[in-house]
Copies of this chain bind each other. A is one copy, B any other.
Amino acid sequence: MLSSSRFIVAVHAMSVLARNGNCGPLCSARVAASVHTNPVVIRRLMGELERARLVKSVAGRSGGFQLNRDPADISLADVYFAVEDENVFRMHKTDPSSPCPVAAQLGRVLTVPLKAAECAFHSSLAKTSIRDVAMAIV
């Protein structure tokens, strides 16, 4: 499902914020240094995480980012669906008016099993929280 490393980067950033605790916001440059990437990349990712209410940004001098919830209440599934495409499978362009019944109906037929696989995936990721991840790091 993953077409990018955004999920891993997001989990990394969230873990850094979790370990920072309540010591005020952490700026994008700090997070970027740990992730080994560019501050703008972090800010863009944080924008998506903020839209999902997982983090909060503080503007202005000595601003930055902090978690918007208890780390124990943020699951890997929350992070995944905040930064990755909601549809796990990339469908091939179908032609419902195709003379071939397979081409015309495959999309409909696959809907249920693919949705089920996506749900199973989601449920499994939901079992681990950012707190679990942050706590497992020495």
Contact = CB atoms under 8 A, between A and B. Distances in A.
Nearest to A116: B124
Given A34-B100, A92-B8, A100-B34, A117 B109 contact: no
Interface residues of A, number: 51
A110 interface: yes
Interface string A102-123: 1101100110010011011101
Nearest to A112: B128
A83 to B, nearest CB: 12
B125 A92 contact: no
Contacts of A9: 92
A43 interface: no
Given A3-B3, A91-B5, A101-B137, A76 B16 contact: no
Contacts of A4: 90
Contact of A92 (B35, B134, B137): B35
Interface string A1-31: 1111101110110011001000000000000
Given A4-B90, A125-B113, A34 B133 contact: no
